[in-house]
Amino acid sequence: MLLSMAGRVPPGHDDLATIGATIDEAAAALAAAGFDEPRRRTRRLVATALDLSPSEVFAHPERRLSEAQWARLGGMLRRMLAHEPLSRIAGRREFWGLEFLLSADTLDPRPETETVVEAVLARLPRNAAHRFLDLGTGTGCLLLALLSEFPQASGIGVDIAPGAALTARLNAERLGLAGRARFAVGDWAAAISGRFAAVVANPPYIATAAIATLAPEVGEYDPHVALDGGADGLAAYRAIAPDLPRLLAPGGLFAAEIGAGQAAAVTAILAEQRLPAVDLMPDLAGVARCVVARRQG
């Protein structure tokens, strides 16, 4: 009914317009479409659509929906059935405990990218006036997460997409970090000068031919420029590495997300620039997800 009635609460059927009944119907639709954990997904959808906490959704299945709420849920369910991620539907994503706005020009930040933030936190003192550089900043999530942890630090985020740089700037303003963060449009670090305590990046690392095999939630909704790493997935690392010796302060860090199985290749690219890798950090699944290199001296 939620789909077939084009989003309108059916007159005379108020019992169908409760949170509990809506969850039952939407979960059945997701299950029939082959989605895993349909009830968990539906509860998150309902919580997002109604601006409720998950506990409120769980605790009040008898709560009735207005016609506007019913219509909004119907529209969001259609988008979810088309494999659009809930974060894209809502236009926001939580990363490092902070809420980031998304746009069509930004990658949807994912939990494994937090290993880059963890790598820098583990290796630099918190109370110092560090300068950070975030290459391919997207939403600004890496730079802004670092600034939230380093109260005296400042930084620059660079993205080739003007829309991404704008989104990152909006996120900095929303998080109260705009005074310490600047964003620019550019081709990696080509127009950047100065020295940085850390350069961070989550560059595109999917081989071009593999993009067609990605789950639709990724391949159809993340911008391809943020996914496509060239024929072998390593093009961005080759582009970034030559600039690192001039950008990193003595002892400065480079921390970047890498794809599964890319650790040896990325380490070799950095070694060509005399930047020895000092660590490989795993994600929660145990996959090497972040390479950390340090400029000597």
Segments of the chain with pLDDT less than 70: 1-16
Whether 120 maps to a domain, the answer reads: yes
Q: Are residues 107 and 250 in the same domain?
A: yes
Per residue in 155-202, pLDDT (tens digit) is: 999 999 999 999 999 999 999 999 999 999 999 999 899 999 999 999
Give the tens place of pLDDT for each residue, 129-140: 999 999 999 999
**94-103 pLDDT per residue, tens:** 999 999 999 9
288-294 β-sheet, strand order: 181-185, 154-159, 131-135, 196-201, 248-257, 288-294, 277-282
pTM assigned to the model: 0.92
Which uninterrupted H or E stretch holds 293?
Answer: strand 288-294
What pLDDT score does 5 carry? 37
Domain stops at, among 53, 82, 111: 82
* Whether 272 and 176 share a structural domain: yes
- Rounded to whole angstroms, how far apart are CA atoms 157 and 59? 42
Reported residue count of the chain is 297
Please give the Cα distance from 209 to 149 (Å, whole number). Answer: 38
CATH of the domain at 158: 3.40.50.150
**Which structural domain, as residue segments, surrounds residue 43?**
14-82
Measuring CA to CA, how many Å separate 272 from each of 242, 265, 285? Answer: 9, 11, 29
Using alpha carbons, select from 159, 131, 160, 136 the residue that is nearest to residue 146: 131
**Is 236 in the same domain as 107?**
yes
Is-contact 208 228, C-beta < 8 A?
yes
